[in-house]
Structure 1
């Protein structure tokens, strides 16, 4: 009876601890989101920063790398903005092109389902009338909406700039942080801790660089396939779609939807639709079975089930940015655990490695 009570107590404490942990992470998104993003970016440019420090000071190398990452992010945001603007400009043409297709779908629905034309018209009228009511139900005055939007935009810009400030300090003072980690452990364990830090610092950048190479290969594959298929702005679409592959599963769906928007929805040609689907199917096959095993290799190699759990939790905690950061963070955590004997079973659980047979 006592053991049952203790087990129940432990389970209750674990559930409560998990709940408050994720609640705290959600509340701390404004700080932890940019900070963890900066950690990933810092690890990404760590080899380049180390090479540059042989020629200039560490402060100078850290500043240059932070500015370089900032400029690259601006270029990506510019590409996304251009694509959105292009999509808005093409929207009237898309509506005109897809109007016959929508009518065909409606006619097929009427012919093959119990619904009739009156039902479909009633559904459309409800949607049309529901938009103004839902927009006005918030009860916010235009001034309040403008102030809220301005606050959101300024907060996003602030976090964006803060990320690269973090990158500079993490690169410039990484030795101080390393020494701090060494000194919080007993003297007899410092050598082991130093070994773990060194190994993790080597593996994590290699993994992230491997992901970048994978993105570059995908961009080329997408560009070839989408260009042959006749997709407008296929180069920009390919670049954005390949970068979106950082978001597991959802990123590929968004990339496919974007390619269809600039391909099939604009032209209305079935051949373009087939070309887009074939391009993404071939690219995903090559990514999963050829590119990822050889380019990324087994540097992290997370278990697919763990990937799904990490992405879902990341989305629940921090939204899209959480989905992007989930895989690199869990991957780095797996690397660290695999190099610590006491935590090795957890590292094997996260990775594709198998436990030794008893």
Structure 2
């Protein structure tokens, strides 16, 4: 009988170095390949979301390519309707811009008088201070403007690529399945299939839950702004609700515009303060009640991991990374949970569910057999 080959055991330090080098290379590829990977990841997520509808249409004897086109056209039609409504509200909001400019000049004048009376700095001195700091401000503003223009241009280019990628991913999904069947041994096909189904479920629940959360937040924002007496409440409320897709900071960013509007268009501090308080209440409800109960425990990961994913995604891929790194982390958790050797890392990403992890390592089995033998002696 031939001796079985024992696996090579590498020293712990060498293993740690290899893992570290692998992580550095992985994030380096994510960074330099952002322009290609961002639309691909978005397309993969949308493909998982649209797959059940596409499969149902194909069940009615509709050709696969036509079924995919119908799904994409439905999504594009819904998004076009939403953006058209936002555009109409923007036109209505723009009518108040001259009045806002006049009110802004009054606020600047009042601020100058306050500084002059409080810090004994005349208007000429304030202008001189501004002139001295204007150059650095312009340079910084120019860099930010260039960054915004580049980001916007890249984002628009990627938007047009997403439906194309989504179409081909759904069209050739049988190729990807065949690839996985050839990569993994037959005895692992059932587990791979289970992982894919769970990932599909996670993505579908995440997107449906996100749409539901955005809708609820929009209604709450609009009701609150109307109750306070802010004009264009629908525009401000829906705009802030859409920013909810950026976890943790989206609602805060969305609240800045109505606060500034209330500050410029009203004569009392009650209105901007009331808007700030209302949006803070909505943010607390969204983070602690609405999102956890609607999105579900199968999608949720613990807040610390979500925050790290948010920061990591933002540093690598900007706003797009902040949006998609959280569901990607949830998908990673599904994979880790289904691999016994990696299940502790999946548990680390979770919120600490009261479930006993199933360890099936050889060491665990040896210990179990040892104690069973002790009992019988």
TM-score by length of 1: 0.82
Determine if contact 2:301/2:330 at 8 Å carries over to the other structure: yes
Q: 2:69 aligns with which of 48, 59, 63?
A: 63
Q: CA deviation at 1:87?
A: 6.1
CA distance 1:173–1:222, change in 2 (3 Å): same
2:102 counterpart residue number: 96
Q: How far does residue 284 in structure 1 lie from its aligned partner after superposition? A: 1.4
The residue number in structure 2 matching 1:329 is 328
Structure 1 residue matching 2:59: 3-state secondary structure = coil
Q: Which is worse superposed, 127-136 or 46-55?
A: 127-136
Alignment-derived partner of residue 53 in structure 1: 58
SS of match in other structure, 1:42: helix
Cα displacement (A) at 1:310: 0.8
Tell me what 1:23 maps to. 28
Compare 7-16 and 255-264 and name the one that shifted more. 7-16
The CA RMSD measured in Å over matched residues stands at 3.4
* Structure 1 pair 268–329 and aligned structure 2 pair: CA distance change class (3 A): farther
What does 1:244-323 correspond to in 2, within 5 Å? Answer: 244-323=243-322
* CA distance 1:343–1:132, change in 2 (3 Å): closer
| CA shift digits 1:72-114 (9 cap, x unpaired) | 4444555565666666664443232234444454555556669
Residue 264 to residue 45, structure 1, CA distance change in 2 (3 Å): farther
Equivalent residue, structure 1, for 2:237: 238
Question: Alpha carbons of 1:333 and 1:84: their partners in 2 closer, same or farther (altered >3 Å)?
Answer: farther
Which consecutive unaligned segments of at least 5 residues does structure 1 have? 138-147
Q: Give the match's secondary structure for 2:231.
A: coil
| Displacement after TM superposition at 1:66 (Å) | 1.6
Judge conservation of contact 1:232–1:262 (CA < 8 Å) in 2.
no
SS state at 1:319 partner: helix
Q: Which moved more, 1:114-123 or 1:284-293?
A: 114-123
Change (3 A) 1:177 1:300: same
CA distance in 2, matches of 1:75, 1:333: 34
- 1:46-88 CA-to-partner distances (Å, cap 9, x unmatched) read 3333333332333222111122223344445555656666666
Q: Higher relative CO (CA 8 A, sep ≥ 6), structure 1 or 2? A: 1
Partner residue in 2 for 1:122: 128
Secondary structure of 1:35's aligned partner: helix
* Stretch of structure 1 that moved more, 90-99 or 200-209: 90-99
Q: Which has the larger radius of gyration?
A: 2
Matched-pair contact (CA < 8 Å) for 2:214–2:241? yes
